[in-house]
Amino acid sequence: MDLSYGPEYDVFRDEVRTFIQDNLDNQPKPGAGPQSEEVRQWQAKLIENGFHSRTIPTEYGGYGAEPDIIQSRIIAEEFGAAQMNTGFSGQGISMLTPVLLEMGTEAQKQQFIKKTIHGELIWCQGYSEPGAGSDLASLTTRAELDGDEWVINGQKIWTSTAHISDWIFCLVRTEPEAPKHQGISFLLFEMNTPGIDVRPLVDMTGTANFNEVFFTDVRVPKDQIVGQRGQGWQVANAILGHERGSLAPPDAAMSRLNGVVKLMQQETISGERVIDNPIFRDRLLKLQGRVMAMQYNDMRLLSAKINKSQDTKLAGMVVKLIGTELRHEIECLGIDVMGEIGLSYGDNPYLRGNGSWQYQYMYFLGLIIGGGTSQIQKNIISERGLGMPKEPKIAQAGV
Amino acid sequence: MEFGLSEEQKLLQDSLTRFLGEQVPLDHIRAVAAGDRKDTTAWSGLSELGIPGLIIPESLGGVGLGMLDAVVVAEALGYHITPGPFLSSAIIAPTILMAAGQTDRLADIAAGHYRIGVALSEAIGSRLDAGISVANGTATGKALFALDAEADGYLINGPDNSVYWVNCEDSGLSRKLLTTIDKTRTICELQLDQAAAHLISEDPECLQAGVDAGRVIQAADSLGAAQCMLDQAVAYSMQREQFNRVIASFQAVKHMCAEMASQLEPCRSLVWYAGHAMATASDDARVTACHAKAHLSEVAQFVARTSTEVHGGMGFTDLVGLHYWFKRIGANRQLLGSPELVRNEAAKAQNLVA
């Protein structure tokens, strides 16, 4: 066990700190729009200095560094500690770019990666459908080849940022006769193509975090496909795995838990600070122990990325399941600490933390469901982690 | 940067697991539990491997390993619910003696010639007004739930969390076995009537160091025991058939196993870190020790009951012997402080208690 990053990284950390010190006043002002010039310039500066898109090759607009997990971790730590703007995020950067690097054609890499990481192209992800949630591979949005164009008909749901996106990466059924996992293709197309209708989907938080997207005879050039026809499922799976762990990072959970501590020190019940109430305090401490376990689990996973001989398969599989449930409970304690004040929302004058406790409490219930429900996670853990068999398939209905 | 076990630690784990697999089969546990066999059979084998002197420096006759190594050992011992006084004689007592600089008997302890118990329950939370007073070098009073009824002597907490050493040869000390649910380790009551008491330390930090170390080791023991219960549940579900299929193919059963695994797997990292923090005297060592103990108490309890449920009626019987693990985990939960008490100590250590 050696938890130091080693002296060679001290120099790197100093470089990151120097950049942060020198640029504290250059980062975009809070509230600057994603299309504003200052945000674009900041993004370019981050990439130029290797603090964004660090390992993406220079020919595709990245910084071109060799992958180094610890350097990436140090950047995240230092930017986090200084609450420094970390630049653009989103599904185009976190999910599509890695896929294009691995499976895209040279022309696709040239066309999309540089613009995506510079925030010039915003992407949404078209996976889930009303009839294809946990059983995603049963999706029915169809694309049929007509000359040099795909013609797409169907509907997607839970599509984050669809209303502001320039492009979509989308799973469609192109081989209706093939077994369901082998009949899907991964297409890329512009959101302003005729026949696309985006409708916001207001959720329990009162916000439209997602959209429904309808396709009616949407015509897309034939070559806008990643991988071969029928390979879309493999492409999608590669990036879904990438999404899951990142939905509930333990460091963010600890930061929220520390927020609960502050709340408990400030809020009083009949003159007594909540932190001095042993029942509330025990709930807090119970959660603290659980978050700590997830933080060290995370360190073990980080270490395993460097030292490939460590077996952390199960440790990685549990992060989404435990992390989202845990976060939901932390936000719940934040609300319980406030009692009736915890009901406050919107313009209520007693609102605490801009309503983030209530918002996150509801939002994390969404994340328990989204990105593969807790029940699907348990299937994966039991089958791939513990080697238990799949449930036998039942005969087709009507047979 | 490496968060994990070293090659040496993995070797230690593997060789110990092989040894325990041969030396501590379920039949041995049954014989010890029935009182037909002393726990010394396994313990003397472990003594030959140097386990009693695991964390005692080589210069003082021990093996000279650290707390993370001890965690690795404890996890293996817990997996096999190994009878014996590892927690008291190899961990808590040596830690206190080393912290106090009282090292002259450590060589005997390391060699397994002197088996030392601990009577510290009153330092953590006295029940039934138990406790001892000390005057003129002698101790009088009562200590409940002392660890190890077979010990040659005890470290016992005196007033203000001081620590004294009493010997079983002393006529002022009498001992009574207390029957508990967990038969893999023995627990007793000590009655002292002007028993000669040798002062080890008046510094409460010495006692606390022993308690901290003991808590980390108990967490590791519960981790191992719970892992074994999970493994048994998965294995049983793969061979037990109902409705013409193995019950492991039912989602209800799979989800129970997945819940156990997903609660337990992060515990491994927490316990490893707690051992590492103690080995490196990190600032967060006490808080982490408390959390490891309390969290593993909760998770192992969940695993203990869920694994039993996966076994169905058989889990409830004596036939599969699963209950020995259930009871070991139950004992670990209460010894050295129940989860609520230990979490409160974690809160105090972070200045969260007014």
Averaged pLDDT for residues A33-61:
92
Identify any residues that bridge with A226 across adjacent strands, giving them in sequence order.
A186
Averaged pLDDT for residues B86-102:
98
In CATH, the architecture of B116-203 is Beta Barrel (2.40)
> A248 is written with which tokens?
């509930």
CB proximity list for A318: less than 8 A, separation 6 or greater: A297, A377, A381, A385, B261, B262, B265, B266
- Give dist(CA B84, CA B78) in Å, integer: 11
Q: Over 60: is that where the pLDDT of A243 sits?
A: no
CATH number, domain of A263, equals 1.20.140.10
Q: Rounded mean pLDDT of chain A?
A: 92
**A330 part of a folded domain:** yes
The pLDDT, as a whole number, for residue A397 is: 56
**Å between A335 CA and nearest CA of chain B:** 19
CB proximity list for B94: less than 8 A, separation 6 or greater: B53, B55, B56, B62, B106, B109, B110
Given a contact cutoff of 8 angstroms between Cβ atoms, the answer to whether A200 and A133 are in contact is: no
Chain A 195-224, CB below 8 Å of chain B: which residues? none
- Give dist(CA A196, CA B227) in Å, integer: 52
> B136 is written with which tokens?
């003129």
Chain A 358-377, CB below 8 Å of chain B: which residues? 375, 377
Identify any residues that bridge with B191 across adjacent strands, giving them in sequence order.
B142, B174
- Give dist(CA A376, CA A149) in Å, integer: 36
Confidence bin at A29 (pLDDT 50/70/90):
confident
| Residue numbers of the domain that contains A216 | 123-230
Averaged pLDDT for residues A20-29:
91
Chain B 279-298, CB below 8 Å of chain A: which residues? 288, 291-292, 294-295, 298
- Give dist(CA A147, CA A150) in Å, integer: 8
**A309 part of a folded domain:** yes
Percent of chain A with pLDDT over 70: 97
Kindly name the residue from A243, A267, A329, A391 that is annotated as catalytic: A243
A225/A267 same-domain check? no
Given a contact cutoff of 8 angstroms between Cβ atoms, the answer to whether B213 and B86 are in contact is: no
Q: Which amino acid appears at position B254 of this protein?
A: K
The helix/strand count (H/E) of chain A reads as 13, 10
Domain stop point among A34, A61, A88:
A88
* Inter-chain residue contact A285 with B347, CB threshold 8 Å: yes
- Give dist(CA B122, CA A94) in Å, integer: 55
Chain A residue nearest residue B292, CA to CA: A289
State pLDDT tens for residues B1-52.
899 999 999 999 999 999 999 999 999 999 999 988 877 778 989 999 999 9
Given a contact cutoff of 8 angstroms between Cβ atoms, the answer to whether B97 and B213 are in contact is: no
Number of Cβ atoms within 10 Å of the Cβ of B75: 25
Q: Which amino acid appears at position A62 of this protein?
A: G
Q: Rounded mean pLDDT of chain B?
A: 96
Domain stop point among A196, A230, A264:
A230
B269 touches chain A (CB under 8 A): yes
* Inter-chain residue contact A382 with B261, CB threshold 8 Å: yes
A305 touches chain B (CB under 8 A): no
Exposure letters A357-385 (e unless 16+ CB within 10 A, then b): bbbbbbbbbbbbbbbbbbebbbbbbbbeb
A178/A278 same-domain check? no
Q: What is the CATH number of domain B205-349?
A: 1.20.140.10
> A316 is written with which tokens?
């990685």
Write A270-277 long-range contacts (CB < 8 A, 24+).
A273/B354, A274/A337, A275/B352, A275/B354, A276/B353, A276/B354
Chain A residue nearest residue B246, CA to CA: A389
In the DSSP assignment, the letter for residue A192 is: T
Q: End-to-end CA distance of chain A, in Å?
A: 58
This model of the complex carries an ipTM of 0.96
Chain B residue nearest residue A6, CA to CA: B1
B104 touches chain A (CB under 8 A): no
- Please give the class, per CATH, of domain B7-111: mainly alpha
Domain count, chain A: 3
Q: Over 90: is that where the pLDDT of A63 sits?
A: yes
A271/A361 same-domain check? yes
A358/A259 same-domain check? yes
> A372 is written with which tokens?
């593969």
Averaged pLDDT for residues B282-303:
98
- Give dist(CA A114, CA A121) in Å, integer: 9
Secondary-structure percent of chain A, ordered helix, strand, coil, rounded to 5:
50, 15, 35
A281/A154 same-domain check? no
Confidence bin at A296 (pLDDT 50/70/90):
very high
Confidence bin at A209 (pLDDT 50/70/90):
confident
- Give dist(CA A246, CA A319) in Å, integer: 9
Averaged pLDDT for residues A337-357:
93
Chain A residue nearest residue B230, CA to CA: A386
Helix, strand or coil, per DSSP, at residue A44 = helix
The pLDDT, as a whole number, for residue A241 is: 56
Q: Which amino acid appears at position A171 of this protein?
A: L
SS3 per residue for A4-16: CCCCHHHHHHHHH
The pLDDT, as a whole number, for residue A239 is: 65
* Inter-chain residue contact A3 with B6, CB threshold 8 Å: no
* Inter-chain residue contact B255 with A290, CB threshold 8 Å: no
Confidence bin at A69 (pLDDT 50/70/90):
confident
CB proximity list for B209: less than 8 A, separation 6 or greater: B95, B96, B99
Nearest Cβ partner for B347 among A281, A375, A390: A281
**Å between A358 CA and nearest CA of chain B:** 25
**A396 part of a folded domain:** no
- Give dist(CA B11, CA B175) in Å, integer: 39
B-chain CB neighbours of A333 within 8 Å are none
Domain stop point among A197, A230, A263:
A230
Nearest Cβ partner for B258 among A294, A381, A389: A381
Closest CA to B337 of B297, B302, B285, B283: B297
**A15 part of a folded domain:** yes
A175 assigned to active site: no
Identify any residues that bridge with B176 across adjacent strands, giving them in sequence order.
B189
State pLDDT tens for residues A193-204.
999 999 999 999
Averaged pLDDT for residues B238-247:
96
Q: Over 90: is that where the pLDDT of A364 sits?
A: yes
Closest CA to A253 of B220, B266, B348: B266
The pLDDT, as a whole number, for residue A242 is: 54
Cβ-in-10-Å burial (0-12, 13-18, 19+) of A4 comes to exposed
- Give dist(CA A144, CA B199) in Å, integer: 87
A381 touches chain B (CB under 8 A): yes
* Inter-chain residue contact A285 with B68, CB threshold 8 Å: no
Beta-sheet pairing, A123-126 with A167-173: parallel
Cβ-in-10-Å burial (0-12, 13-18, 19+) of A141 comes to buried
A267/A317 same-domain check? yes
* Inter-chain residue contact A4 with B1, CB threshold 8 Å: yes
Q: Over 80: is that where the pLDDT of B184 sits?
A: yes
* Inter-chain residue contact B258 with A378, CB threshold 8 Å: yes
A40/A132 same-domain check? no
Write down the pTM of the prediction.
Answer: 0.93
**Å between B310 CA and nearest CA of chain A:** 13
- Give dist(CA B330, CA B218) in Å, integer: 11
- Give dist(CA A117, CA B348) in Å, integer: 47
| Domain parsing of chain B, residue ranges | 7-111, 116-203, 205-349
State pLDDT tens for residues B142-179.
999 999 999 999 999 999 999 999 999 999 999 999 99
> How far, in Å, are A6, B92, B148 from residue B132 at the CA level?
50, 20, 19
A-chain CB neighbours of B268 within 8 Å are 297, 300, 315
- Give dist(CA B12, CA B51) in Å, integer: 11
CATH number, domain of A207, equals 2.40.110.10
Q: Which amino acid appears at position A222 of this protein?
A: K
A285, A306, A390: which to substitute to probe chain B, counting the most B Cβ within 10 Å?
A285
Confidence bin at A399 (pLDDT 50/70/90):
very low
SS3 per residue for chain B: CECCCCHHHHHHHHHHHHHHHHHCCHHHHHHHHCCCCCCHHHHHHHHHCCHHHCCCCHHHCCCCCCHHHHHHHHHHHHHCCCCCCHHHHHHHHHHHHHHHCCCCCHHHHHHCCCCEEEECHHHHHCCCCCEEEEECCEEEEEEEEEECCCCCEEEEECHHHCEEEEECCCCCEEEEEECCCCCCCCEEEEEEEEEECEEEECCHHHHHHHHHHHHHHHHHHHHHHHHHHHHHHHHHHHHCEECCEEHHHCHHHHHHHHHHHHHHHHHHHHHHHHHHHHHCCCCCHHHHHHHHHHHHHHHHHHHHHHHHHHCCHHHHCCCCCHHHHHHHHHHHHHCCCCHHHHHHHHHHHCCCCC
Q: Which amino acid appears at position A31 of this protein?
A: G
- Give dist(CA A225, CA A235) in Å, integer: 11
Place of tokens 């660890």: B147
**Å between A284 CA and nearest CA of chain B:** 9
